[in-house]
Structure 1
Amino acid sequence: MYCFFVLLLPLFSPIFAKKVAPNSMLPFEAETLFKIMESHLQSAFFFNCFTHTNTNLSVSPTAFTNSSLQQLSLRSNPALTGPIPTQLSSLKSLKILTLSQNCLFGSIPPEIFGLVSLVHLDFSYNLLTGSIPIQLGNLTSLEGLDLSYNSLTGPIPTTIGQLGQLQKLDLSSNSLTDTIPDSIEKLNSLVFLALSSNQFGGHLPKGLGKLQNLQYFIMDDNPMQIPLPLVFSKLVKLQELRLASSGYSGNIPPSFSQLKNLTTLSLQNNHLTGQIPAEFSGLSRIYHLNLSRNSLSGTVPFSSSFLKRLGKNMDLSGNPGLCVSPSQATAQKFGVNVCGTNQEDGSLIQPMNQSPAKPSLCNPFAFVTCLFLFKLIRHV
């Protein structure tokens, strides 16, 4: 079991690699590695390098003085602990900062949001607490933000509307509260939005329909407790819409059938009533449809060809008032009653998965191989 140190030199220089026993990765050696990063590096990556001896990421105030570093990745290091150092804010040329899948704790330093050149910021899968600083709005060049799988609290700051270049926003699996700020409608470049497993409630922003580039809206497991909003019908580029386990009520809007690019629609475990819109048969690209565990009623309106196409990827179970015609029952099994009988047609659908527990990488024996890779600046 070894660590692998890989050195990438500029241009056509050879690649050097060295094996080092992982148990030798002591805290003082982590300080040495950070000093290496001061030597005109453009990129530095540490993957699975801190796995046995707990290593605090906190460093001396002068440890980060390299103004040329553009990419820094410390990922999947289960023994890397401590708060995020405020000294990282001195890396003014930094464009990519990844500190994911470690055991970092404490709040996010507001100073980090002084790195105005950042394009990608990833602090996911840690033990971070506290609120998201309002200084987030300073990162106007940011295209990707991932703070998922932490224990962050409080509302999403309204300053998020200043991130006009943002394409991916993942805040899922935290303890964020309040409503989604109206300023989110200004994120015109947004393609991916994930807010699942938080404590959001109340209304959705009226301007949500302005996000015309949005392709993925994932917001399962939030106590919304409102009628299913019509605004989703305006997001015509949506490919995935996931709103399970969030207390939505009322009828499924027929206007959802306007989402012609939709491949996945998950509305299970809500309080939806009424009939399944017949217009859903026009969703020619849909591959996964889950309407289970609601209070839907009436006859399933889909054609036999539609039912065969989805097969096991459609779950309608857990709707006592829903039924299928005898001809539909012979085409495919759905776990709902055959109309006019008390006979169930059987279920081929697995029970709905519960929300997964937050994974933890804080296991000193989870990984055994270290990859340390860095790239030097080419001087002209």
Structure 2
Amino acid sequence: MYSSGLPRTYIFVIFFLLLGRSTHQNKPRNGAANQFNSPKMDPKETEALFEVMESISTDAVWRKAHPKPCINGVWPGLECKLGADKLMHVTRLDFGYKPNPSCKKNAIFPSSIFKLQHLQGLFMFQCFMHTHTTIPTGFQNLAPSLQQLSLRANTALSGEIPSELGSLKALQVLTLSQNSLHGFIPQDLGKLSALLHLDLSYNSLNGPIPGKIGSLRVLKGLDLSYNNLRGPISPLVGNLKMLQKLDLSSNSLTGHIPVALGSLKSMEFIALSNNKFTGMFPPSLVNLQSLQYFIMDNNPMNFPLPAEFGSLRRLQELRLANSGYSGPIPVSYGKLLNLSSLSLENNRVSGSIPPSLGNLSHIYHLNLSGNLLSGPVPFSTEFLHRLGKNIDLKGNVELCINASHAAQSYQYLGVGICGSPLLNPKLKSSKKSQGFSLHEMHWRMDIYILGSWILYLLLACK
């Protein structure tokens, strides 16, 4: 007979609540294995993973060290996720830099990697350094899943970029930089509609920049620098409305800067140095109000410095060196209050230095050397002191510094003293000694004063 205490109904309720809590605690969390309901891995995928690891790395005996990858823990460089089929799948592999597995000396690209059909990210850094290998066919097997492919700094990775990479519809990042790839850039890369970043820099690619790249409507970064690309920039680049970084430097590109470039209002970084571009900049350049870096050294431009750059108020670095620019430095450059670096060296820029450049409070590097500038340097003592040796004015034979600055030891500027014929480099024909330096002037003055005192003492003794 049941006596005092809780009613029998309450006892049963409490029992079932405790039972449910115990069952809930024994369920696997975040796909982790447990003794009651352990997630499994497809044996074929497990075998494919071991084949990849054994062909690339000898850091471990992978089958013995990790007999159940993705289930009883993972190693650095391996990521797994629980799929909709309730199986664990390999989703990311990283090789080549610690703590990830290193690559063995004779490693070649493993075709077995195409059996890992749930792979979302593949990263190989300095893996193929000694034995020649190429990018094989088979990437269409990874088309539904692969989002990031990075094969970087593999000096033995050569051959052409396979057009088949254009089938990777989910791909967001494609990095094939610092390899030994050659041939044309495949037009089929223009089919990568989800691509955000494309980096093919530091290879030996040749031919034109394919116009199909203009179809990459969500692209934010395009780096084709340090190749052998030829021809003009396609006006279809104007279709890349989300582009923020464009680096085409160190190629053999020709022609004018296309008007369409000015329609890329999200652009923050442009590098076009070491090419063969010519002609005037398009007026549409003033539309690039987000631009922070414009780097275009070493091109045969041969026209006056464009004043349009003065309207790009977010500009932090402007480099136009060694390109044949002429005429005066536009006064509008003094309005670039965010500018930290201005390089105009080795051109034919003439006239006086605009005093407005002295208002650039963020500038730390100024190179105006090797031009035809003239007149006094208009900068304050504070400005010159702040830049120190990061200001270079050498090679402007008619440029001079006011006598008020002479005592501040600014001889590193490489200019003479205004109004001093002995210090005016223009009056000296010898390239070895184009005018006395400030140090030499001070030394000569000391000798003169010392000689005067000696003469005075000799006369006084008489």
Q: Same fold (TM over 0.5)?
A: yes
Q: Deviations over 1:169-204 (max 9, x none)?
A: 000000000001000111000000000000000111
Conserved? CA contact 2:117–2:141, under 8 Å: no
| Counterpart Cα distance in 2 of 1:191 and 1:83 | 31
Number of the residue aligned with 2:401:
324
* CA deviation after TM superposition for structure 1 residue 330, in Å: 2.6
Aligned AA (1:259): L
Which residue of the other structure, out of 437, 455, 462, is the alignment partner of 1:344?
437
| Identical-pair percentage | 51
| Aligned: 1:9 with 2:80 | yes
| Counterpart Cα distance in 2 of 1:125 and 1:164 | 25
Which residue of the other structure, out of 110, 120, 140, is the alignment partner of 1:42?
120
Aligned AA (2:175): T
* CA deviation after TM superposition for structure 1 residue 137, in Å: 1.1
Within a 5 Å distance, the mapping from 1:218-367 to structure 2 comes to 218-331=295-408, 332-333=410-411, 334-341=413-420, 342=423, 343-345=436-438
Aligned AA (1:24): N
More strand by share: 1
* CA deviation after TM superposition for structure 1 residue 103, in Å: 0.5
Cα gap change, 1:305 to 1:73, in 2 (>3 Å):
same
Which residue of the other structure, out of 122, 125, 129, is the alignment partner of 1:51?
129
* CA deviation after TM superposition for structure 1 residue 22, in Å: 1.8
Q: What RMSD in Å do the two structures reach over aligned CA positions? A: 2.3
SS in 2 for 1:41: coil
| Counterpart Cα distance in 2 of 1:190 and 1:92 | 25
Conserved? CA contact 1:252–1:273, under 8 Å: yes
Number of the residue aligned with 2:196:
119
Q: Deviations over 1:223-270 (max 9, x none)?
A: 000000111011111000000000000000111101111000000000
Aligned AA (2:391): M
Which residue of the other structure, out of 31, 35, 60, is the alignment partner of 2:137?
60
Q: Highest relative contact order (Cα 8 Å, sep 6+), 1 or 2?
A: 1
* CA deviation after TM superposition for structure 1 residue 3, in Å: 6.7
Q: Deviations over 1:18-54 (max 9, x none)?
A: 856622313xx53233x25x42011110111100011
Q: Comparing 63-72 with 252-261, which one deviates more in the overlay?
A: 63-72
Number of the residue aligned with 1:356:
none
| Counterpart Cα distance in 1 of 2:416 and 2:175 | 51
| Aligned: 1:31 with 2:111 | yes
Aligned AA (2:77): V
Conserved? CA contact 1:40–1:66, under 8 Å: no
Aligned AA (1:23): K
Q: Comparing 103-112 with 8-17, which one deviates more in the overlay?
A: 8-17
Q: Deviations over 1:89-112 (max 9, x none)?
A: 111000110000100000000001
TM-score by length of 2: 0.70
Number of the residue aligned with 1:366:
none
* CA deviation after TM superposition for structure 1 residue 6, in Å: 2.5
| Counterpart Cα distance in 2 of 1:195 and 1:3 | 42
Larger Rg: 2
| Counterpart Cα distance in 1 of 2:197 and 2:346 | 34
Aligned AA (1:127): S
Cα gap change, 1:92 to 1:326, in 2 (>3 Å):
same
* CA deviation after TM superposition for structure 1 residue 142, in Å: 0.3
Number of the residue aligned with 1:22:
104
Conserved? CA contact 2:234–2:258, under 8 Å: yes
Conserved? CA contact 1:72–1:96, under 8 Å: yes
* CA deviation after TM superposition for structure 1 residue 338, in Å: 1.3
Cα gap change, 1:115 to 1:270, in 2 (>3 Å):
same
Aligned AA (1:6): G
SS in 1 for 2:407: helix
Gaps of 5+ in 1: 348-380
Conserved? CA contact 2:196–2:219, under 8 Å: yes
Cα gap change, 1:21 to 1:158, in 2 (>3 Å):
closer
| Counterpart Cα distance in 2 of 1:233 and 1:297 | 22
Q: How many corresponding residue pairs?
A: 341
SS in 1 for 2:195: coil
